[in-house]
Chain A
Amino acid sequence: MSLLQRILEDPARFKRLKVVFYVTLVLIAAAEVVLPKVFHKDDAHAHHFDFEGWPVFGSAYGFVSCVVIILVSKFIGKLWLMRKEDHYDS
């Protein structure tokens, strides 16, 4: 059994994996706020727009993008685009 399989199939280890995932997310978001402030030497030319300087803009925009893409695409798909697999065969 590979390491990956052991982690994924053991509920205790899988739970630990989840915790690691959430902690990483918090660290990433924190890094996005803190690090550029600490080492702000490249801040001047790093931002083209004001909104990029908002705290956790990257993280928030990533999350919103993901949710919007899934919901809007599924909505369009269900309403209009998705057909049975044999749609073109008849």
Chain B
Amino acid sequence: MTPDWVHPGLVLILGAWILPFLKGGLKKTAMLAIPGTAMFICFTMSTGSFCEVNFLGQELTFLRVDKLSLIFSYIFSLMALLGMIFALHVDDDTQHISALGYAGGALGVTFAGDLVALYLFWEFMAVTSALLVWLRREPEAERAAFRYFLVHVFGGLVLLAGILLHGHATGSFAFEHFGESGGIAWGLILTAFLLNAAVPPLGAWLPDAYPQASVTGAVFMTAFTTKSAVYVLIRGFAGTDFLIWLGAFMAIYGVVYAVLENDARRLLAYHIISQVGYMVCGVGIGTELAINGATAHAFAHILYKALLFMGAGAVIHMTGKNKLTEMGGLYKTMPITLGLYMIGACAISAVPLFSGFVSKSMVVSAAGEKELPWIFLTLTLASAGTFLHTGLKLPYYMFFGKDTGAKGAEPPKNMLAAMALAAIACTVIGVAPNLLYDHLPNSLEYHPYTLAHVTATMGMLGFTALGFFMLLKHLDPEPKISLDTDWFYRRGSAAFVALTVRPLARLEFGFVGEIYAFVMRRFVLGGASVLRAFDTHIVDFTAVGVGRLTQASSRILKTTVSGNIQHYGLIMLAGVLVLLALVMFI
């Protein structure tokens, strides 16, 4: 039983502020105890509504606990703990406070029972996550953080507008399913949710910012923003048909970019987009199985994607390189990192006995049950692409391939420990899927380990590997970047300025300038010369006249002021006599 007032998100957000006051072992204990406490609260919560606050006549619910919010709170709090273990060696309180606050914001969004509380935590996540990019403290990262922040401020404003319109129209700010209305408020809220879920064309912020974040910050970022967006999509927009196609498109979109990518973490970032595509697709299908699939996949995805970012982060941390063209041959010096990374790679690639296999297949099966052959085929194709990049291309060029002389060594123990825990979680879920299935929002039976499913998956993975080795020379990463929709605000805005400046300049120098010159010469300068004449003739003359008058009168006065005491005495005596005469005779 949870007391009414303990919000696990607040435990993280406020608890983080004790870190600057602690040192050494005590600080490290606190870094683990804070997310540990939040996790304990989440795991012991009972369902119901708590933390109800009356604010400006609105009943706000900060803790709505049901099966859907609970499963997301489990994974978010667990991820906060894993992330802190991974960041234990980092001596930067600001980063820790931001990271814990960010995780707390995600819990706040998860438990928000109304749209006002949702909005508060939504914006809080935007600020704290932008800080995680910013705090890598490099010019490139600061620029990326600024872009990231602007995009999310825009998203936040869209959300706020949607919430206000929705509240005005329905008279309630309760966060329930938004129905199939398709009105303006509906569209604005959906747009804001899709922006955070990184759905193209609104998703370019993700591969732009994540590779620029600090090594430990990026691990947090992979978990919370997109998956909390998936959560609100499930709650608010389950069964919205066009999300099926958008999700499937997204799954392919990430894969295409991953082929072209050279930056290790950007490649993984594009695979977040691809994986979230499965979840968005599940939300769109909207059946009980699909919603369970989207939820389970979000759960599994957070663990394996964090593990993959930890692996790539460990390599970047130890070698100082982030491009595949500058890595290679690291299997000799970083075998443990390689092994743990490969478990994450097996999980994301849906290899049987790993977590992705038991979660992804639910969404694909849901597409099958709804008789959507093209969605089924698209998602399966994206699966092959996932294995191709995360399971083959990235490890091949990072740990094997051509040795470019990047020197590596195993990362600090805490990093390996976090990776090992994530790897264990990925494997446990894969081996005993019911541990996860029992907590899914809809209770229904699902068996991923059918013979046909296992053999078909093994065939698909094996022959993807064959294709990879056959086309290996075409896959060599190139030191290039790929255009995404962030072009519109990175380059397009500059082009927009260039386009508008020229006509504006013509207007300014031509039309406005001419008017200015005319008015200036004719009226202002003309008027000024009149004023000047008045000034020289009247004002100056007066001033000079007053001066001359003063001078003349002072010359006369001077004769009376001799400085001689006898004269002054004589004048005073004369004055007294005059006064006496006046008194006596008048």
| Stretch with Cβ within 8 A of A (4 or more), from B107-115, B176-184, B309-317, B459-467 | B459-467
Measured CB to CB, the closest approach of chain A to B413, in angstroms, equals 20
Contact with B along A54-83 (1 / 0, CB 8 A): 001111111101111111111011001111
Cβ 8 A contact of B381, one of A65, A81, A82: A65
B384 touches A72 (CB 8 A): no
B260, B365, B384, B385: which has the most chain A beta carbons within 10 Å? B384
Contact with B along A20-53 (1 / 0, CB 8 A): 0100110011011001100100110011110110
Complexed CA–CA distance, A72 and B463 (Å)? 18
B369 touches A48 (CB 8 A): yes
Q: Which residues of A contact B331 (CB under 8 A)?
A: 4-5, 8
* Docked complex: B314-339 residues within 8 A CB-CB of A: 331-332, 335
B400 touches A81 (CB 8 A): no
Give the number of chain B interface residues (Cβ < 8 Å): 54
| Stretch with Cβ within 8 A of A (4 or more), from B196-204, B215-223, B473-481, B545-553 | B473-481
B462 touches A62 (CB 8 A): yes
B480 touches A28 (CB 8 A): no
**What size tier do the contact residues of chain A reach?**
35 or more
**A35 touching B455 in the complex, CB below 8 Å, given contacts A62-B464, A83-B480:** yes
Is residue B471 contacting chain A, with contact meaning CB distance below 8 A? Answer: yes
B452 touches A5 (CB 8 A): no
Measured CB to CB, the closest approach of chain B to A67, in angstroms, equals 5
A52 touches B456 (CB 8 A): yes
A61 touches B380 (CB 8 A): yes
Q: Which residues of B contact A88 (CB under 8 A)?
A: 481, 490-491
Complexed CA–CA distance, A19 and B371 (Å)? 40
Q: Residue on B with the closest CB to A48? A: B368
> For the complex, would chain A's binding face be called helix, strand, loop or mixed by DSSP majority?
helix
A25 touches B466 (CB 8 A): yes
**A57 touching B474 in the complex, CB below 8 Å, given contacts A48-B368, A82-B260:** no
Measured CB to CB, the closest approach of chain B to A90, in angstroms, equals 9
Complexed CA–CA distance, A65 and B468 (Å)? 11
Cβ 8 A contact of A58, one of B385, B459, B465, B471: B459
Q: Residue on A with the closest CB to B140? A: A89
A36 touches B451 (CB 8 A): yes
B371 touches A48 (CB 8 A): yes
Measured CB to CB, the closest approach of chain A to B490, in angstroms, equals 5
B255 touches A63 (CB 8 A): no
Measured CB to CB, the closest approach of chain B to A65, in angstroms, equals 4
Complexed CA–CA distance, A28 and B465 (Å)? 12
A63 touches B466 (CB 8 A): yes
A32 touches B259 (CB 8 A): no
Is residue B482 contacting chain A, with contact meaning CB distance below 8 A? Answer: yes
Q: Residue on B with the closest CB to A80? A: B483
B459 touches A66 (CB 8 A): no
Is residue B373 contacting chain A, with contact meaning CB distance below 8 A? Answer: yes
Cβ 8 A contact of B481, one of A43, A48, A62, A87: A87
Complexed CA–CA distance, A49 and B259 (Å)? 30
Q: Which residues of B contact A4 (CB under 8 A)?
A: 331, 335
Complexed CA–CA distance, A12 and B234 (Å)? 54
* Docked complex: B247-261 residues within 8 A CB-CB of A: 255-257, 259-260
Q: Residue on A with the closest CB to B400? A: A8
Complexed CA–CA distance, A49 and B376 (Å)? 9
Measured CB to CB, the closest approach of chain A to B396, in angstroms, equals 12
Is residue B450 contacting chain A, with contact meaning CB distance below 8 A? Answer: yes
B463 touches A62 (CB 8 A): yes
Q: Which residues of B contact A24 (CB under 8 A)?
A: 462
Measured CB to CB, the closest approach of chain A to B325, in angstroms, equals 10
B459 touches A29 (CB 8 A): yes
Complexed CA–CA distance, A84 and B376 (Å)? 36
Is residue A10 contacting chain B, with contact meaning CB distance below 8 A? Answer: no
**A42 touching B459 in the complex, CB below 8 Å, given contacts A4-B335, A83-B483:** no
Is residue B576 contacting chain A, with contact meaning CB distance below 8 A? Answer: no
**A66 touching B467 in the complex, CB below 8 Å, given contacts A48-B368, A49-B373, A81-B483:** yes
A69 touches B483 (CB 8 A): no
Chain A residues with a Cβ under 8 A of chain B: 2, 4-5, 8, 21, 24-25, 28-29, 31-32, 35-36, 39, 42-43, 46-49, 51-52, 56-63, 65-74, 76-77, 80-85, 87-88
Known: A36-B455, A48-B369, A83-B481. 15 other contacts (CB 8 A): A2-B335, A8-B400, A31-B459, A35-B451, A35-B455, A42-B451, A58-B459, A59-B462, A63-B463, A69-B256, A76-B256, A80-B483, A82-B260, A82-B483, A83-B482
- For the complex of A and B, list the 9 residue pairs with the smallest distance between their C-beta atoms, beginning with the closest: A48-B368, A66-B467, A58-B456, A62-B460, A59-B459, A73-B259, A58-B459, A65-B384, A63-B463
> What are some 5 contacts across the A-B interface (CB < 8 A)?
A36-B455, A58-B457, A67-B471, A73-B260, A77-B482
